[in-house]
Chains A and B, each alone.
Chain A
Amino acid sequence: MPPAIDTQRLSKTYRQRFGRAIPALRDLDLHVERGVIFGLLGTNGAGKTTTVKLLLRLCYPTCGEAWLLGFNFRDPRVRRVIGYMPERPQFYDFLTPRELLRLYAAVYRMEGRKRESAVNRALGFAHLEHAADRRLGTLSRGMLQRVGLAQAVLADPELVFLDEPTSGLDPVVRKEILDLVADLRAQGKTILLNSHQLGEVEQLCDRVGILQEGRLVAEGALAEILQTGSYQVRARSVSPPTITALQVLGARAEEAQGEWTFTLPTESALWAALDTLRQGQARLVWAGERRLTLEEYFLDKEQQA
């Protein structure tokens, strides 16, 4: 089965009036398998939104090719199997969510019962039943984001593009939107998630890619890229002789607010350290493989650049 997204040397250069060229995306080779949530990360201007716009043919590449679900991205059939929610979805504010979804259902050439069933399913998915007949112009930002998500899943797409879906939302609404995205994953959809919110990307995504100045500088499964190959143990009430014994095992020791963190090079050293701590009657807080947070990984990549 072809991948959900496959790009080959996809590039975009914007040209200003007097000929100045601004490269927004350079030779992007991206490969996203079906059924995963892929997080596209990057600072402002890194090329995230340009990537989505190119794939959706809202703008055109300077060179390169792309395939979505096996279709060339120029193929009009692609639009039947994808959904898109922009960062700040804009709607006709004189319509209600139900009328808007009916309008979009008409674009998908859904009629009669099929159309009503799709509209009701999308409203139900986004928990919008109670606001389905209120004018869009009177809805809050959070509700509009939900409408944006509802229209993106209206035709039951296999691939959904979400561009900063939680940008500018309060924590409660953000959680609601993230729960809906998690529901989409549970339904087996492939999702390309553009986001600045590293915490939510770490929480939701299976794989991530980092764009820097239009180049993909890192890409991989989240579980793999955050691995460090080292181990850590955190403990309190650690006596000086125990610290010395741990340092003999090769541990690097750091102390913060009475809690000691020992970083060890191998798993066997970790087990030996645990024995040493038990014998020294220290209070164990946590032990395990040391993983970077996505934020640490991202900042590290930014510094390397």
Chain B
Amino acid sequence: MSALVANTVREALRRRSLQVTLVVSALFMLGLAALGHRWAVTHAEELSRFSTWAAMRYISFFAALLTTFAAMGLVPAELEGRTVSMLITKPLGRWQFVVVKFLAAEVMVAANILVLALVTLVTALWWRVAPDPAVPRNLAMLFVGLSTLAATIVALSVITSAPSAAILGLGWYGLAKWPGVVTQLAASSPPPLSWLLQGIHFLLPDLAKLNFEAPLFQVPANQVREGLVSAAVAIAFWLAVGILAFRRKEL
């Protein structure tokens, strides 16, 4: 499977949309860093806190975009290019095909986070501030969070078109990051809609507990564990959806 994962990553990296998004993200982050340096408060401690807060927000925003771009085309590219029939007629199970695509997306998520983290490090060196020691842990949490996004988009792209999978996947991820929006809506809606929203809330992974955008706030360890379990369940759920859908798909 590793050969297929490597081939999928190689294929995806050739896509212009991914390359352009990565470069634009890096340039945007450097640009904001330059502006921040000009206007930021002068105390070293405040500067450090501000830089860490800003970096995690930028990374999580751009990495989510990059994950979407990376994951949305993996399955459709094989279906539209009809390369899938050459693979599926060989000793490769349909479930393995979906898992390969998810693992390839994971490799790209990790690579994107790494690139953006390097840009952040450059920014920190530029600002002459020490990076917050909580950042690596939060990058790991971000990886877990984005893994749920990648699994969602890969699974949805088996069922629907790549753009629809991207939009639905991002919507799902957004709700999982801010589940309070759903609970508030459910509380203020009449019964049939409120039941539906409560159902959606029940299915959402609680990514807010991973707290990857705010390393300055401490989240109790048990809540982080709950967040990790809920993300793992979400990944398994979406992979199962993708595998079941692909097993039924006629090529």
Tell whether A and B belong to one assembly. Answer: yes
**A79-B91, A103-B3, A103-B4 known; A151-B86 Cβ under 8 A:** yes
B41 within 8 A of A: no
Count A-B pairs with CB separation below 8 Å. 62
**A59-B250, A94-B14, A103-B4 known; A109-B91 Cβ under 8 A:** yes
B225 within 8 A of A: no
- Which segment of B77-85, B128-136, B181-189 sits at the interface? B77-85
- Which segment of A39-47, A80-88, A185-193 sits at the interface? A80-88
- Taking the nearest CB of chain B, how far is it from the CB of A254, in angstroms? 49
Return the 4 tightest CB-CB contacts between A and B, nearest first.
Answer: A106-B3, A59-B250, A84-B89, A90-B82
User: In the bound complex, what is the Cα–Cα distance between A53 and B86 (angstroms)?
Assistant: 12
**What residue in chain A is nearest B8 (Cβ atoms)?**
A92
Chain A interface size band reads 20 to 34
- B contact residues around A103 at 8 Å (CB): 3-4, 7
Additional A-B contact list (10), CB under 8 Å, known A95-B7, A107-B90: A56-B85, A57-B89, A84-B86, A90-B81, A90-B83, A94-B14, A103-B3, A103-B7, A107-B4, A151-B86
User: In the bound complex, what is the Cα–Cα distance between A103 and B83 (angstroms)?
Assistant: 13
A125 within 8 A of B: no
B11 within 8 A of A: yes
User: In the bound complex, what is the Cα–Cα distance between A203 and B85 (angstroms)?
Assistant: 29
Instruction: Map CB proximity to A onto B88-105 as digits: 1 under 8 Å, 0 otherwise.
Output: 111111000000000000
A297 within 8 A of B: no
In the bound complex, do residue B10 and residue A94 qualify as a contact, i.e. CB atoms below 8 Å apart? yes
- Taking the nearest CB of chain A, how far is it from the CB of B132, in angstroms? 40
Chain B residues close to A by CB (< 8 Å): 2-4, 7, 10-11, 14, 81-83, 85-93, 250-251
- Taking the nearest CB of chain A, how far is it from the CB of B146, in angstroms? 26
User: In the bound complex, what is the Cα–Cα distance between A183 and B2 (angstroms)?
Assistant: 34
**What residue in chain B is nearest A78 (Cβ atoms)?**
B91
A89 within 8 A of B: yes
**What residue in chain A is nearest B248 (Cβ atoms)?**
A60
- A contact residues around B85 at 8 Å (CB): 56, 58, 84, 86
Contact of B251 among A59, A106, A151 (CB under 8 A): A59
A104 within 8 A of B: yes
**A79-B91, A80-B91 known; A90-B3 Cβ under 8 A:** no
Contact of B250 among A60, A82, A90, A95 (CB under 8 A): A60
- Taking the nearest CB of chain A, how far is it from the CB of B251, in angstroms? 4
Contact of A79 among B10, B11, B83, B89 (CB under 8 A): B89
In the bound complex, do residue A104 and residue B86 qualify as a contact, i.e. CB atoms below 8 Å apart? yes
Q: Which of A59, A95, A104 has the most C-beta atoms of chain B within 10 angstroms of its own C-beta?
A: A104
Q: Which of B87, B89, B92, B251 has the most C-beta atoms of chain A within 10 angstroms of its own C-beta?
A: B89
In the bound complex, do residue A94 and residue B83 qualify as a contact, i.e. CB atoms below 8 Å apart? no
- A contact residues around B86 at 8 Å (CB): 84, 86, 89-91, 104, 151
User: In the bound complex, what is the Cα–Cα distance between A102 and B7 (angstroms)?
Assistant: 11
Contact of B83 among A56, A60, A84, A91 (CB under 8 A): A91
In the bound complex, do residue A56 and residue B93 qualify as a contact, i.e. CB atoms below 8 Å apart? no
Contact of B11 among A92, A102, A155 (CB under 8 A): A92
A76 within 8 A of B: yes
User: In the bound complex, what is the Cα–Cα distance between A92 and B85 (angstroms)?
Assistant: 13
**What residue in chain A is nearest B87 (Cβ atoms)?**
A107
**A92-B83, A94-B14 known; A106-B89 Cβ under 8 A:** no
- Taking the nearest CB of chain A, how far is it from the CB of B3, in angstroms? 4
User: In the bound complex, what is the Cα–Cα distance between A102 and B93 (angstroms)?
Assistant: 19
**What residue in chain B is nearest A148 (Cβ atoms)?**
B86
- Taking the nearest CB of chain A, how far is it from the CB of B247, in angstroms? 10
- A contact residues around B82 at 8 Å (CB): 86, 90
**A58-B89, A151-B86 known; A106-B4 Cβ under 8 A:** yes
User: In the bound complex, what is the Cα–Cα distance between A94 and B7 (angstroms)?
Assistant: 10
- B contact residues around A108 at 8 Å (CB): 90-91
- A contact residues around B10 at 8 Å (CB): 94
**What residue in chain B is nearest A93 (Cβ atoms)?**
B81
User: In the bound complex, what is the Cα–Cα distance between A86 and B82 (angstroms)?
Assistant: 10
Contact of A107 among B14, B83, B92 (CB under 8 A): B92
Instruction: Map CB proximity to B onto A53-83 as digits: 1 under 8 Å, 0 otherwise.
Output: 1001111100000000000000010011010
**What residue in chain A is nearest B3 (Cβ atoms)?**
A106
- Taking the nearest CB of chain A, how far is it from the CB of B222, in angstroms? 43
In the bound complex, do residue B251 and residue A58 qualify as a contact, i.e. CB atoms below 8 Å apart? yes
